[in-house]
Amino acid sequence: MGQSHISNHIRSLRFNHNEMTQQQLADQVGVTRQTIVAIEKGKYSPSLELAFRIARVFQMPLEDVFAYEEDPVQ
């Protein structure tokens, strides 16, 4: 399974928010820790709703948390 085109800064944002754990973030946005792990590793692109919920936890706009990277081949 290829890496997602959507990158994110969740790991650094967690660190900057009182070293929030993956489990704490997962509890706040209503998913399992495994899903946060997959998003951070770029193995899963979250739904738009989940992306907004994550951005809201960090009180940042969506595009400051997630970024879309164009395929270099295209």
Partner 1 sequence: MSYQEKKNIVSLISTILIFGSYCGAVYVRYNDANLAGAELFRFWGAVILILIPVTIVAKVIIEIIFIIINRIATKEVEPSFADELDKLIELKAMRMSYFVFVLGFLLAMVSLVLRMTPSVMFVILIFSGFISDVASSVTRLYHYRKGV
Residues making contact with partner 1 (CB under 8 A): 1, 3-4, 30-32, 34-35, 37-38, 41-47, 50
* 69-72 contacts, C-beta under 8 A, 24 or more apart: 69/5, 69/6, 69/7, 70/5, 71/5
Residue with Cβ nearer partner 1 (20 or 38): 38
Q: Which is nearer to partner 1, 16 or 47 (CB)?
A: 47
CB of 51 to partner 1, least distance (A): 11
The residue type of 54 is: I
Q: What angle do CA 8, 12, 18 make, to 5 degrees?
A: 135
Q: Which is nearer to partner 1, 30 or 61 (CB)?
A: 30
